[in-house]
Amino acid sequence: MTSAAEPQSLLLQMLDPAHRADPYPLYSRIREQGPVQQPGSNLTVFSSYADCDEVLRHPHASSDRLKSTVAQRMIADGAPPRPFGPPGFLFLDPPDHTRLRRLVSKAFVPKVVKALEPEIAALVEGLLDDADGSFDAISGLAYPLPVAVICRLLGVPLEDEPQFSSASALLAQSLDPFVNLTGAVGAGSEERMAAAVWLRGYLRELIAQRRRDPGEDLMSALIHVVGAPPACGGESGDQLTEDEIVATCNLLLVAGHETTVNLIANAILALLRDPAQWAALRAEPARVSGVVEETLRYDPPVQLVGRIAAEDMTIGTVTVPKGDSTLLLLAAAHRDPDVFDRPDDFDPGRPGIRHLGFGKGPHFCIGAPLARLEAAVALTALTSRFPNATLAGEPSYKQNVTLRGMSELPIAL
C-alpha cells in the first residue's frame, strides 16, 4: 500500500487530456504503486485485477453515493441529497436496485436480444451502404448503430436523437472522478447540470405521450406497471413512480449507447492496427466473439468504476473504512501482468479471456448481451465488406476519462 505524493501525482495525471489517446503506460505506473489510500479524501484507489475483482464481488461494496462520508458531509453543508430525484438503478443498492433491475431485465434477456439480430444486421448493412472511400468509423457506424437500437428499445423517436445526443455526451462526463481526485466538480459542471435538467424534462414529456398512446417499447412497459397490483397483471413490489421511470430511461439512454459506441470503435481500431487480425476475422467470422471479449479487456469502454464501503472492508491487506469511496481502475487491472500473459498485446485468440468490463455481482451490466451482439454484427460486416480497409489517420478522442472513447476514427476503405 502507498500513500506518498508520487501516486497522488500519477492519479491526477489521469485527468490530463494528454493521456487520453494512450492512458495505459500511466495506468501501469499507477498499478505498480499498489493500492493508494488518501484518508483526507476518504478515497482508496485499486488497480490490480485481484483487488478490483474482490471489491466488485464484496457484499459491503455499495453503489449508492449517499452512503459515502463525502456525500454526507456535503448534505450536512446544505447540498440536496438527490437534486434530480432517484438515480438510475446502476447507482442504487438492493432492494431498490433489485426491483428496478428485475423490470428492466425483461427487455435484455438473451431470447429478446437474439430476436433483434436481423434488425441490427439490416441497420449495419444500411450504414455501410453509405460508406465511400473515406469513412469515419464513429459517425458512420459505431455511433448511429447503438443509438438506433436503444431508441427502438426505449421508444424514443430516432428523429429526436440530435437533441439528446449532446446532453448524453455531457452527462457521460459527469462520471469522471474529478470530485474524488481533486475535491472539485471540474469545469463544465453548469453545462452538465443543464443537460441533466433538459434530458429529464424531455423524458417526462415522452412519458406523458406514452401514457396517452402506449407502444411496444420498454418505456410503455414501465409506465404500465405503475401502481398495477398483482390482480391487474402487475407484480408485487413493481409499482414505479414517474421519477423512477425517468431515472431508469435516462440511465439506459446514456449508458445504452455511449459504452457500445466505444466498444465497437475500440475493436475496429485494434483490428486495423493489426492487419493480420482484420484478415483473420474476415476469413473466420466465428472469431468475432474473441475479438469482442479481448477488446473489453485490452481497451475497455468503461475505464474505471466507483464503489463505497457500506461497512469496513478488507481488500487484500488494505482496510477501507465505512463511508470511504473506492476507485477501481479496470483499464489498469485488465493489463495486470500477474494475471495476463503479454497484457499489452491485442490477442483475440488468447485462451479463456477474462475481464471486468461488464462488472460483476448484482450490478453486472444488464445490457451485456445486446452490446456483444451489436459489436459482433458490426465487426463481421465491416471486415467482410471492406477486406482492405486501413487507418487513414490517427483517431481523435473525447475528453471523457471514465467512458473514454473516440470522436473520430478515419479509415480508408
pLDDT mean over 307-315: 98
Question: What's the pLDDT band for 5 if we cut at 50, 70, 90?
Answer: low
With cell 471540474, the residue in question is: 186
Task: Please determine, for residue 312, whether its predicted confidence score (pLDDT) is greater than 80.
Answer: yes
Which residue is associated with the grid cell 488468447?
350
**Structural domain harbouring 237:** 5-412
| Angle at the Cα of 26 from the Cα atoms of 304 and 6, rounded to 5 degrees | 100
pLDDT at 218 over 80: yes
What's the average model confidence in pLDDT over 125-148?
Answer: 93
CB 271 within 8 A of CB 331: no
- What's the Cα-to-Cα distance from 404 to each of 220, 299, 373, 397, rounded to whole Å? 32, 9, 21, 8
Tell me the C-alpha distance between 58 and 316, whole Å. 12
pLDDT at position 51 is 98
Q: Report pLDDT for 185.
A: 61
Whole-number average pLDDT of the chain: 90
Q: Which three cell numbers stand for residue 405?
A: 472513447
pLDDT at 183: 67
- How many domains does the chain fold into? 1
157 φ/ψ angles, rounded to the nearest 5 degrees: -60, 125
Q: Which residue has the higher pLDDT, 229 or 307?
A: 307
CATH code: domain of residue 206: 1.10.630.10
Q: Which residues sit opposite 46 in a β-bridge?
A: 328
Q: How far is CA 229 from CA 68, 225, 404, in A?
A: 35, 8, 43
For residue 3, the model assigns a pLDDT of: 46
Say what the pLDDT of residue 307 is.
Answer: 97
Residue type, 363: H
Where residue 232 falls among pLDDT bands split at 50, 70, 90? very low
Cis peptide before 95 (omega within 30 of 0): yes
Ranked by mean pLDDT, the top range of 6-10, 28-32, 169-173 is: 28-32
Residue whose C-alpha is closest to residue 360's, from 96, 55, 99: 55
Name 15's Cβ contacts closer than 8 Å, sequence gap at least 6: 176, 177, 178, 181, 182, 186, 401
Cα distance between residue 335 and residue 49, in whole Å: 8
Q: Which of 256, 254, 276, 268 is nearest to 298 (CA)?
A: 268
Residue 13 has pLDDT above 60, yes or no: yes
Residue with cell 457500506: 310
The pLDDT value recorded for residue 231 is 41
CA dihedral of 127, 129, 135, 139, whole degrees rounded to 10: -10
Residue with cell 479524501: 41
| Three-state SS annotation for the chain | CECCHHHHHHHHHCCCHHHCCCCHHHHHHHHHCCCEEEHHHCEEEECCHHHHHHHHHCCCEECCHHHCHHHHHHHHCCCCCCECECCCHHHCCCCHHHHHHHHHHCCCCHHHHHHCHHHHHHHHHHHHHCCCCEEEHHHHHHCHHHHHHHHHHHCCCHHHHHHHHHHHHHHHHCCCCHHHHHCCCCCCHHHHHHHHHHHHHHHHHHHHHHHHCCCCCHHHHHHHCCCCCHHHCCCCCCCCCHHHHHHHHHHHHHHHHHHHHHHHHHHHHHHHCCHHHHHHHHHCHHHHHHHHHHHHHHCCCCCCEEEEECCCEEECCEEECCCCEEEECHHHHCCCCCCCCCCCCCCCCCCCCCCCCCCCHHHCCCCHHHHHHHHHHHHHHHHHHCCCCEECCCCEECCCCCCCCEEECEEEC
Residue type, 170: L
pTM: 0.92
The dihedrals phi and psi of 320, each to the nearest 5 degrees, come to -105, 115
177-190: average pLDDT: 72
End-to-end CA distance of the chain: 49
14 neighbors 48 (Cβ within 8 angstroms): no
Which one is predicted more confidently, 52 or 241?
A: 52
Instruction: Pull the grid cell for residue 364.
Output: 453486472
> Is 243's pLDDT higher than 50?
yes
| Residue 80 in this model has a pLDDT that exceeds 60 | yes
What's residue 176's pLDDT? 84
